[in-house]
Each structure stands twice: as structure tokens, then as C-alpha cells.
């Protein structure tokens, strides 16, 4: 009877351990998949690329402003070169990963891409009958770049705040995952320890039976007299 109960207990403990292991794997898998979808590495890369793009676009806006105030072929060529550099960086970012709304990169792309397209076209071909180096075209390009730069700066600030929020959220999720895993591992460890303790108690050898019998009243019988009479 005792062996049957012990076998049932073993089955129950093994089932509990397997269930705990399954729950642990399930929680780990789901949590890691969710974290992978918004990895801080991806957020950091997008934030870095957007910051570099902003630096390039800011330099372009400055070069256009200088070309407007000090018109010359050299200044105009410098603005064209910077516009090509910014456009090339934008294409590299777009080819590296798809712009998404993780930190608002898609909104920034929607501002920068058409602005770069207009600036490059106007610096190359001018506007209507006005030459690229004319005062009218340079003023138009300067306003276009300045407006896009202000929007870019505002969206970049929002993107950084969003990235910081994602870092904090993922940190909390990792802490919660660690607590859950520790709890499940503690439960499984307790089940295994209980199984070992019970197994040791069942397998412990019983004490030897005493070969000396005593009367039921607990008193020893009279001793035999071995002295000769």
C-alpha cells in the first residue's frame, strides 16, 4: 500500500515538474519574441541613423543659407554636394531597414525625402525660368530647407523620447521575466527536493528487531543461579 502511494506521489511530482518546465519555456518564448519585435538594438540603430541624417541635413541647410547670402559657383557646388550626400545617406538607411513607427522614423522620412528631392532638383535645374543660382531660387530653397529642418528637429526630439520609453519598458519586462522564471524554478526545485526526501525516507532500512524478549509487564524474569549447591 505504501509503495502504491509512493508511486502515485512520484507521478504527481514528475507531472508538476514537467508542467512547470512547460510553463517556463512558454513564458520565455513569448516574452523573448515580444522583446525581439522591439529590440533596443534596433531602436538604437534607428536613433543613431536619424541623428546622423539630421546632422547632414542641418549642414545642408547651413550651406544653402551661406550660398544665399554669398552667391557664388563654389557655394552652390558645395550645397549640391551636401544635398547628394544627404540623399545617399537617406537611401542607405531606407535600404538597411524599413522605416516604421517604432520611434516615428516613418514620419521623419516623410518630411526629409520630398524636401531633399525638391532641393536637389532646384539646385540642378532651377525653378521655371529662374537659374539655380538666382536670388529667387536660392530664397525658395532656403525656405524649403529651413521648414523641413524645423519639422525634422521636432520629430527627432519626439523620437528620442519614444526610444527612452521603449528602453524603460523593455527593462521592466526583462525584470518581470526574471522574477517569473525564478519563481517557476523555485517551485520545480522544491518538488524535486520533496521527491528526494520522501524517496530517502522510504528506502531507509528499518531497525533490527530485538532478539531478547521481555515479559509483558516489562520486568525481567528471575536470574538462574549458576553457583554450585
| pLDDT tens digit sequence for 145-160 | 999 999 999 988 888 8
CA separation for the pair 68, 175 (Å, rounded) = 55
The 10s digit of each residue's pLDDT in 158-212 is 888 887 777 777 777 777 777 777 777 777 777 777 777 766 766 665 544 444 4
Highest mean pLDDT among 11-15, 122-126, 170-174, 188-192: 122-126
Residue 127 pairs in a beta bridge with 130
Higher pLDDT, 100 or 64: 64
Quote the cell numbers at residue 11.
507521478
Of 66, 64, 58, the residue nearest 149 (C-alpha): 58
Of 145, 108, 104, the residue nearest 123 (C-alpha): 145
CA separation for the pair 13, 20 (Å, rounded) = 10
* Three-state secondary structure call for residue 130: strand
Residue 16 has pLDDT above 80, yes or no: no
* Three-state secondary structure call for residue 127: strand
Quote the cell numbers at residue 36.
525581439
Amino acid at each position: 500500500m505504501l509503495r502504491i502511494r509512493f508511486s502515485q506521489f512520484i507521478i504527481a511530482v514528475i507531472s508538476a515538474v514537467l508542467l512547470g518546465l512547460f510553463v517556463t519555456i512558454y513564458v520565455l518564448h513569448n516574452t523573448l519574441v515580444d522583446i525581439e519585435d522591439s529590440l533596443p538594438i534596433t531602436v538604437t540603430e534607428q536613433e543613431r541613423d536619424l541623428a546622423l541624417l539630421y546632422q547632414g541635413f542641418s549642414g545642408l541647410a547651413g550651406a544653402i543659407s551661406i550660398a544665399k547670402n554669398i552667391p557664388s559657383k563654389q557655394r552652390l557646388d558645395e550645397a549640391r554636394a551636401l544635398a547628394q550626400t544627404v540623399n545617399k545617406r537617406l537611401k542607405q538607411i531606407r535600404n538597411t531597414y524599413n522605416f516604421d513607427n517604432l520611434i516615428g522614423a516613418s514620419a521623419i522620412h516623410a518630411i526629409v525625402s520630398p524636401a531633399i528631392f525638391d532641393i536637389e532638383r532646384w539646385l540642378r535645374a532651377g525653378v521655371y525660368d529662374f537659374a539655380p543660382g538666382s536670388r529667387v531660387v536660392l530664397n525658395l530653397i532656403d525656405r524649403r530647407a529651413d521648414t523641413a529642418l524645423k519639422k525634422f528637429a521636432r520629430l527627432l526630439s519626439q523620437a528620442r523620447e519614444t526610444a527612452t520609453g521603449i528602453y524603460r519598458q523593455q527593462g521592466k519586462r526583462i525584470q518581470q521575466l526574471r522574477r517569473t522564471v525564478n519563481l517557476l524554478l523555485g517551485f520545480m526545485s522544491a518538488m524535486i527536493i520533496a521527491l528526494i526526501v520522501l524517496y530517502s525516507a522510504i528506502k531507509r532500512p528499518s531497525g533490527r528487531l530485538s532478539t531478547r524478549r521481555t515479559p509483558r509487564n516489562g520486568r525481567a524474569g528471575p536470574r538462574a543461579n549458576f553457583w554450585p549447591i
